[in-house]
Amino acid sequence: MAKKKEEDMVICPVGKFFLDLQKLSRPRSKFFEHMDLSRIEFLKAIRSLVDERIEGLEEKKRSKQEKKATKIHIEE
């Protein structure tokens, strides 16, 4: 299978943004260092959103389990 050229590949806009900036920067420049750190922070932000969603779903499941009907015996 032939390799696709970078221009033919479909990537997310954020990834393309970082890739384009990387091409414009010198490898050892301060800008490049900041961009590396910003990519890490961006991924951490995404991770925190995923973690919050997981916690929300787990809480919803727990609350459903706690809301069971209780049988009450009534004397006549």
Q: Where are the domains of the chain?
A: 26-56
Q: Compute the Cα dihedral for 60, 62, 63, 64 and give only its sign.
A: positive
Give the pTM: 0.50
Q: Which residue has the higher pLDDT, 51 or 4?
A: 51
CB 32 within 8 A of CB 22: yes
- The mean pLDDT value for 52-61 works out to 93
What band does 64 get if pLDDT is binned at 50, 70 and 90?
A: confident
